[in-house]
Amino acid sequence: MSDWYGDRAPVDRRVVVLVAPARGTWAPPGRDSEAWRLALAEDTYEVLAALDQVDVAVAVSGGDDNAVAELSALTWPGTPVYAVDAERPVLHAVELAGPAAAVVAVSHDVPDLPGLLIGKLFRALSHADIAVTPAEDGSLAAIGVKLPVPGWLTGLAPTFDTPLAVLESRKPRRHAVATGPGWHRLRSNADLARLDPGLEGWDATRSILRRA
């Protein structure tokens, strides 16, 4: 992917990558899981696309050409969209997004994520190998990685389901892992209560929820 960063020097370049599954795994009652997956991904992408001074890409975990085309249809022209290995989707997405100083991978199911939290991860990567936004269910909503990928992370291959405790137990030095403010992911019906109808944004997700 070394041909899409234009004139920006890799040492100064920061990339945020939306990582979405190739297929839907759940949906609120009465809703289609594929429509729900795409709505979440679209809204999360819009959050990332609004960030300043970062390049944005989309990675499809375990996807084929059709899955890549589906996600491409939701993005602005020029946004790179590519398939990544379902076994190591985060690190594969990070590697393909380079060259860069740092990359933050974001799970597709955070349509109301405040962009400020992504900025905090990039700042933390000035001293940490990895910086994460923990989710309330014990998973991770976003994972930032300094490039080149440190060897201990290559072996661990963290995903959004890797517990923070595992990262802490494997870190090679005290400040190798940075933890930002937590957020929530939409992974079950109970998580829907976390959405604030009074906040702007997440329009596609909101539209799906309003359907009878």
Segment 137-152, tens digit of pLDDT: 999 999 999 999 999 9
Residue-wise pLDDT tens digits, 106-131: 999 999 999 999 999 999 999 999 99
Range 184-202 average pLDDT: 95
Cis peptide before 99 (omega within 30 of 0): yes
Residue 2 has pLDDT above 50, yes or no: no
Q: Global pTM? A: 0.94
Q: What's the pLDDT score for residue 94?
A: 97
Distances from the Cα of 111 to the Cαs of 9, 173, 189, in angstroms? Answer: 30, 33, 15
DSSP 8-state assignment for residue 150:
P
Range 34-51 average pLDDT: 98
Q: What's the pLDDT score for residue 105?
A: 98
Cα 208 to Cα 31: distance, rounded to the nearest angstrom: 7
Nearest C-alpha neighbor of 144 from the set 198, 186, 93:
93
Dihedral angle, C-alpha 62, 16, 106, 80, nearest 10 °: -30
Residue 35's pLDDT band (cuts 50, 70, 90) = very high
- Sequence-distant (6+) residues with CB within 8 A of 52 are none
- Burial track 47-57 (b if 16+ CB lie within 10 A, e otherwise): bbbebeebbbb
Residue-wise pLDDT tens digits, 77-101: 999 999 999 999 999 999 999 899 9
Q: What's the pLDDT score for residue 148?
A: 94
Kindly give the residue spans of alpha helices, DSSP state H, lying in 65-170.
Answer: 65-72, 89-97, 115-124, 151-156, 164-170
Residue 6's pLDDT band (cuts 50, 70, 90) = low
Range 46-60 average pLDDT: 97
Run of H or E residues at 47: helix 33-49
